[in-house]
Structure 1
Amino acid sequence: MEVQLGNFNRRQVQFDISDKLDEDGEWLYRMVGLARDSDTQFQYRDGPDVEDNRVYLAPTVTWIPSADTSLTLRADYLRDTSGGTIAVLTTPGGKVTDTLLGDYSYNRFRQEQYSVGYEFSQQLAESVKFSQNLRYGQTDTILNNLLPGDPDFTTDSVSRNAIRFDEHMKAFNVDNQLQMDFNTATVAHTLLAGVDYSWLDANAKRFSAVAPALSLSNPLYGLDISDPTNAVNNNDQTTQQLGVYLQDQIHLTEHWLLTLGGRHDDISMRTQNNLTGNTSWIDKDAWTGRAGLTWLVGNGLAPYISYAESFVPNSGTDSQNRTFDPSKAHQYEMGVKYQPDSNLLMTLAAFEITKSNVLTNEIVNGSATGYQVASGEVRSRGIEWEAQAKLTDNLDALASYSLTDAQITKSNNGDEGNQQANVPKNMASVWVNYGFHQGLLDGLMLSSGVRYIGSMYGDNANTIQVKNVTLMDAGVKYQVNKNIQVGFNVQNLFDRHYVGTCDGDTSCYPGQERTFIGSLKLNF
C-alpha cells in the first residue's frame, strides 16, 4: 500500500493485494486499486483550482487446476474527473500568460469505463499450447470545453465557442492463438498461429454554441454558460476487424535468429449520421508482414535488422462527417543490443516509419476547431539510444537520446515538406541513483536527473514554434525496514515555465510546473 501527498492539494492512496485463496494455491486472487483527490497547476483568477481526480479498481482471480491449465478472470473500473482541456493565452511573442481561456463553471471532463474478461491457456501437448484472451468493455465520456478563437489584442478580447462532446462506446475483443515448438533437421521453430476479432460500437454527439467573449486584461469567470443544445454531429459508428496471423521464430543456428510473420485483416466500418439519416460504409482488407534477423555474436552483442507493416482502423469522422480510411504503415529498423553482463545494457537503433492517414487536430485561421483531419502521409526517420549501467555497488545510471525527423510527405492541406506538429526533433535524458548500503545511511537512496525536450512546431503549417526546454528532477527514498519505505520526489525542480504543446498560434498548453510528491509505502 502507498500513500502520497503533494502540492496542488494532491492526496492519493493505492494498493496491490494478492494471496492464495486455498492452501494448495489452486486459487489465487489479486486486487489493485487507486484513489486520487487532487488539483492541478491551473487556477482561475478569483476562482477554484482545476481538479484531477481518479478512482481505479482491478480485481483478478486465477484458477490453476493443473500444471497444464490456467484461467484468469479480470475486471477493472476507472473513473476520471477533471476540469477538461485547459488552453492558456499566449502572446504574439510566444510568452505564456496566466490567463485561462476556459471557465470553471463550464469546462469539465468525466470519463467512466469498465471491462471484464479472461485469459485462458491450455497445454495440449509437450510442445503445443493454446491461449485465448477475451475482453468486453464500455466507456462513457462527457467533455465540456470552451474553444477560443484567435485573440484580438487590439480589442482586448477573445471569442469562444461552447463545445459539448458526449460519447458512449462498447468494445469486444477476442484473440485465439496456438503455439507450437518443433524442429526441422537442426533448425528449431516456435510457430504462432492465431485468429483475432474486434468489435467497436460508438455513439458520438457534439453540440456547439457561441459563448461569451473573454477579456484578456480583466477576465471574468464563473459565468452562467448553459450546455449547448445545437447538435452539429450525432453519429453511430460500428467497426469490425477480423485478423488471421502466422509467425515463425526460427533458430537457424546457435548465433542466428530469424522471425517471419504474416497477417490478413478485414476491416468494416459503418457510420450513420443521425442528423441527416445518411449512412456510409467502408470495407477494406490488407495483407501485412514482418521479418527480422538477429545475429547473436556472443559476449552479449546482438545486431539486428527488421521490417514491419501495420493496418489499423481510424475511428471517428472529420468536420464533414466523413469516415476516415484505415491507417497503413511500414517500418524499417536496424540496430544493436549489447549486454555483456548484468551491469550494462545498451541499445542503439535507426528507423524509418511511413504512415498514411495520420489523424491530427484541425486548425482553421490559427485556431483549433475540435475536429481531426487525416493529414495524408508522415515519414519519421531517426535514431534512438539507451544505456542502463550499474557503475559501482552504490551508483547506477540510465541515459537516453532520440533524434526524430517527422516530415509530412503527402497532404491535402498544403503541408507537404513540413514537420509534423508536436514532435520534438531532439530528446535526451539522464537519471542517476546513488544508494547507501551500510552505516548510518543504510537504506537511503538519492536520485537526480535531467530531461531535454527539443524545439518543435505546434501546427502542421509550421507557423507556431514551441521552444526547447531543459528540466531537472530529483528524489530521495529511505528504506526504514523491509516493510516501510518513505520517499520524496520533485519534478521540474527549478520550476521552469514552458510551453508543452500548442493548438493554435495564441492558445497553448503549458508544461508541468514544479511538482512535489511525498510517499509512504507499506509492504506486509
Structure 2
Amino acid sequence: MRNARLALLSAGAMLCCSDAAWAQTGTVLAQAEQKEADAADGDIVVKGERALSGTKTETPVTEIPQSISVITAQEFQDRAAVNLQDVIRYSAGATSELNGVDTRGDFLAVRGTGAEQYLDGLNRMPGFVYGGRLEIFTVERAELLRGPSSTLYGGGGAGGILNSISKRPRTTFGGEMGIIYGTDDYKQAQIDITGPVVDGVSARLVSMYRDANLQQPSQQNDRLVVMPAVTLRPGSNTEVTFIGLYQRDKLGSQTYLPTSKTIDGSGPTRISDDFFLGEPDFNHTFSSHYALSVLVTHRFNDNVTFSSRNRTFEQDTDYREVFGYTGFGGAYADAERTIANRAWYLNQAQYTGLNSDNNLVLSFGTGPLRHQILAGFDYTQFREDKQEGFGAAPGLNLYNPVYGVPFDFGVGWMTDTKNSQTGFYFQDQIRAFDRISLVFGARHDNVKSNVNSTQLEDNKAWTFRGGIIADVIKGVSPYFNYSESFLPVFGSNFFGVPYVPRTGRQYEAGVKFQPTPRMLFTLAAYDIKEENVLIADPDELQNFIQGGSTRSRGIEAEANVRLPGNFDLTAAYSYTRAEYLRVDGRQRGDRRENLPEHQASLWTSKRVELGGDLSLKLGAGVRYQGDKVSFDQLYRIDPVTLVDAMAELTYGKWSLSVNGANILNERVYTNCSYTAGTVNEGYCYLGKDRTVLASLRRRF
C-alpha cells in the first residue's frame, strides 16, 4: 500500500453548498442561513430554502426548472441506512441495490439509467472503482438531481447525479459521539466534533470505526475513517476549507446463488439464502482510500464571486472472489445438479484522480430582468493501473460444502489507463418580473484516453440546457426543460477494451407546489434517450458491456411535509418505463433488466414531548417495488414490499434509538437471470435482509 501523493491545487475551491439542509422542504441552506446554523448550539440539521447544486448559484428551488430532492443525515440515521445506495430508498424515480449486497460499490439508478456519484460537486469516482465506497457518516446530506446535468458537471449521466455534501467546520462548538450495535454483529464507534480554534479558524474531526459482518457468513464488514477539516476566514469575503480523508476497508465480497436453488427452489433441493458459494479464506475486498479537498470562495463584491473546488485522491484495492459461474459447461458439474461450477477472479489495482472546477458568477439587472451569469472551466484526470486474473475454481457441493480445496490463481493480464476531461461551461439565469425564471446553458468537453501506452482518438462534444419555470399563482410553479448529457466512461471492461462516452437527451415537464415553506409537492414527467449505455454482462459477472441505445419515460410525484406538532411526512410514487431501442441480442421495446416500473414509498415520523428534557420520536415507513425482468427477458422477479421503523428517546443531549430497515425480513432478490437458452441455469443477487441498529449518542 503506497502513501497518497496529495498536493494542494491553485486558487482554492468553492464552498459549493452550505453546511445543512432540511429535506422536508426539499431545500438547501444559503450562505446567509449558515450563520444561523452556526449560532445553534450543536444543531446539525436546520432548514433552508435555497439550492446550489442545480445551478451552482444560490437559487430557491421553486426557481429551478429541474426536479431535485434532498436527504439529510438525520434521515440516513432514522431509516437505518448503512451505505450510500440506501439513502435514496424514499426518493421518487430512484432505484437502489441494483446488484444487491455488493462490496464493489454503490449501484443505483435514476429515471431508468445509472446515476453518477458526486461529492461536493466533484465526480467522486470518474471510473468504475472496486471498493472505497463513500462513508455516509462523513456527509451532511445527499442531493438527488434528476435528469442530465452535463452542462454544469460534465460527467453527469442522463438519469441524474447524487451529490453528497461533506461535513465542514462550524464557527460554534458542537458535535456528537456515539456507539452502535446491531444485526450481523454490527459494532461501531463514532465521533463528530467541530468548533473555533482561533479567530478566523475553525476545525472539524469526523471519525468512525466499524467491526461487523456482511449478511453472508464468514465475510467481514470492517471500516476505519478519519476525516479532519479546517476552515480559514482571512476576511469577511473569503473562505478556504481543507478536508482530508483516510478510509480503510476490510470487507468480504458478495456471492451469487443459483436461481433454481433459491427463488425457484422448493423442498429438499432448495438451499438457504445464507449459503456462501465463495471461498471464506479467499473472497475479500481490501482497500485504502486517501483524499484531500480544497474548497474556497471569494466574493469581490455583491455582484461578483469567484469559486473553485478541487480534490485529489488515491486508492489501493485488493479484490478477490470465487463465485458461481456458467461459462465452464453450465452451472453444474454433475447431472444431479448438486455441484456448482465456480470461477475465481482477482483485481489488484491502484486508482488516482484529480478534479478541479473554477467559475465566476456575475449578477446584474437590466430593467425588469435580473441576470446571474456563470462561466467556468473544470478538469478531471483519472488513472487506473490494475492487474487482473481469472480462471476455474473447484466446484462446490451445494448440500455438503467442503471449503478450502487448493487451486492455482494469479495475475493474468495488466491494464493501465489514463484519462482526462477538460470542459468549459456557460450559464445564464434570468429572473423576469420576479415571476418567471429562465435557465440557459452550454458546455464543451474534450476527453483524452490512453490505454497501455496507446493514445486513443479524442472525444469532443457540445451539450446544451434550457428551462423555464413560472409562478403562475402563489405557490404554484409549472416548469419545462430540455437538457443533454455527455458522460465519459473512464477505464476499460473485463477484457481490457476501453469504454466510450455515454450521451443522452431529456425533455421534462412538471410543477412545483409550495403552499407554505413547510410543504413542497412536485410532479414531473420526462422522456430520456441515451446512447452507449453500460449494462451488467449476464454471462460474465465481473464485466459491464457497452453499446446500443435505451429510452426511459416516466412520471414522478413526491411530497415533503412538516405539519404542526412535529409531524413529518415524505411520500413518493414513480412509474418508469425503461426499454431498449437498440442493443445486441435484444428486441426493440424489451424492458431494461433489474428496474421496476412502479415504485411507491411513505415515511412518517412524530416527536412527542414527554415533559422536562425528555422526548420520544417514532417513525415508520413502507416501500413498494414492482416486478423486474432479467436481461434476456426470460425471468421475472415478483414485487416486494418492505417495512422500516424507528424509535428514539432523547433526554437533554443524550439519545437512545433503535432503527430498523426491512424489519419483517422479507427476502429481496435484486437481480436474477437465466443463462440464455439454458433452462434453470442462472444466478440471483441478494438484497439486504433485516437491519436493526441500536444507537447511544451524546450531543455537544
TM over 0.5: yes
User: Hey, what's the Cα distance between the residues in 1 that align with 2:548 and 2:692?
Assistant: 42
1:73–1:343 distance in 2 versus 1, CA, 3 Å: closer
Give the stretch that moved more between structures: 294-303 or 408-417: 408-417
What is the aligned partner in structure 1 of residue 306 from structure 2?
A: 130
2:403 alignment partner, SS class: coil
1:85-117 Cα shifts (integer Å, max 9, x gaps):
221233266247323221101111112111113
Match of 1:267 among 442, 447, 450: 447
Name the amino acid aligned to 1:464.
Y
1:349-408 Cα shifts (integer Å, max 9, x gaps):
1112211111112223xxx34221104112111111111223441532211111111111
What is the aligned partner in structure 2 of residue 276 from structure 1?
A: none
* TM superposition score normalised by structure 1: 0.92
User: Hey, what's the Cα distance between the residues in 1 that align with 2:519 and 2:365?
Assistant: 33
1:62–1:514 distance in 2 versus 1, CA, 3 Å: same
1:203–1:416 distance in 2 versus 1, CA, 3 Å: farther
User: Hey, what's the Cα distance between the residues in 1 that align with 2:288 and 2:227?
Assistant: 14
| 1:237 corresponds to 2:417 | yes
What is the aligned partner in structure 2 of residue 337 from structure 1?
A: 512
Q: Among the aligned pairs, what percent are the same residue?
A: 30
Match of 1:57 among 226, 235, 239: 226
Deviation at residue 442 of structure 1 after TM alignment: 4.9
1:177–1:443 distance in 2 versus 1, CA, 3 Å: same
| 1:42 corresponds to 2:223 | no
Asked whether the equivalents of residues 209 and 230 of structure 1 are also in contact (C-alpha less than 8 Å), the reply is no
Name the amino acid aligned to 1:361.
A
Match of 1:157 among 339, 352, 362: 339
What is the aligned partner in structure 1 of residue 634 from structure 2?
A: 463
1:318–1:515 distance in 2 versus 1, CA, 3 Å: closer
What is the aligned partner in structure 1 of residue 251 from structure 2?
A: 82
2:498 alignment partner, SS class: coil
Deviation at residue 229 of structure 1 after TM alignment: 1.9
Rg: which structure is higher? 1
Asked whether the equivalents of residues 257 and 324 of structure 2 are also in contact (C-alpha less than 8 Å), the reply is no
1:42-91 Cα shifts (integer Å, max 9, x gaps):
12xxxxx3211111121111110111111111111122221112212332
Match of 1:488 among 651, 658, 682: 658
Deviation at residue 11 of structure 1 after TM alignment: 0.5
Name the amino acid aligned to 1:494.
L
1:229-267 Cα shifts (integer Å, max 9, x gaps):
251x41111111110000011002211000000000001
| 1:194 corresponds to 2:376 | yes
Unaligned residue ranges in structure 1 (runs of 5+):
44-48, 274-278
Match of 1:473 among 637, 644, 652: 644
User: Hey, what's the Cα distance between the residues in 2 that align with 1:355 and 1:2?
Assistant: 45
1:351 alignment partner, SS class: strand
Deviation at residue 519 of structure 1 after TM alignment: 0.5
Number of equivalent positions: 505
Mapping of residues 416-427 of structure 1, within 5 Å? 416-427=588-599
Deviation at residue 438 of structure 1 after TM alignment: 4.2
2:406 alignment partner, SS class: coil
Match of 1:318 among 481, 493, 496: 493
1:450–1:155 distance in 2 versus 1, CA, 3 Å: closer
User: Hey, what's the Cα distance between the residues in 1 that align with 2:389 and 2:587?
Assistant: 29
1:398-429 Cα shifts (integer Å, max 9, x gaps):
11111111111111233532111211111111
1:91 alignment partner, SS class: helix
Mapping of residues 141-152 of structure 1, within 5 Å? 141-150=317-326, 151-152=331-332
User: Hey, what's the Cα distance between the residues in 1 that align with 2:308 and 2:441?
Assistant: 20
* TM superposition score normalised by structure 2: 0.70
Deviation at residue 185 of structure 1 after TM alignment: 2.4
Mapping of residues 38-437 of structure 1, within 5 Å? 38-43=212-217, 49-91=218-260, 94-95=264-265, 97-98=271-272, 99-150=275-326, 151-152=331-332, 154-226=336-408, 228-231=409-412, 233-272=413-452, 279-364=454-539, 368-437=540-609
1:490–1:268 distance in 2 versus 1, CA, 3 Å: same
Asked whether the equivalents of residues 255 and 323 of structure 2 are also in contact (C-alpha less than 8 Å), the reply is no
1:265–1:216 distance in 2 versus 1, CA, 3 Å: same
Asked whether the equivalents of residues 105 and 224 of structure 1 are also in contact (C-alpha less than 8 Å), the reply is no
Asked whether the equivalents of residues 32 and 57 of structure 1 are also in contact (C-alpha less than 8 Å), the reply is yes
What is the aligned partner in structure 2 of residue 46 from structure 1?
A: none
Asked whether the equivalents of residues 503 and 532 of structure 2 are also in contact (C-alpha less than 8 Å), the reply is yes
User: Hey, what's the Cα distance between the residues in 2 that align with 1:458 and 1:54?
Assistant: 33
Asked whether the equivalents of residues 15 and 33 of structure 1 are also in contact (C-alpha less than 8 Å), the reply is yes
1:282–1:193 distance in 2 versus 1, CA, 3 Å: same
User: Hey, what's the Cα distance between the residues in 2 that align with 1:324 and 1:408?
Assistant: 19
User: Hey, what's the Cα distance between the residues in 1 that align with 2:184 and 2:497?
Assistant: 42
Deviation at residue 5 of structure 1 after TM alignment: 0.6
Name the amino acid aligned to 2:239.
S
Name the amino acid aligned to 2:656.
V
Structure whose residues are more often strand by fraction:
1
1:415–1:141 distance in 2 versus 1, CA, 3 Å: farther
Deviation at residue 136 of structure 1 after TM alignment: 0.9
Deviation at residue 163 of structure 1 after TM alignment: 0.6
Asked whether the equivalents of residues 108 and 145 of structure 1 are also in contact (C-alpha less than 8 Å), the reply is yes
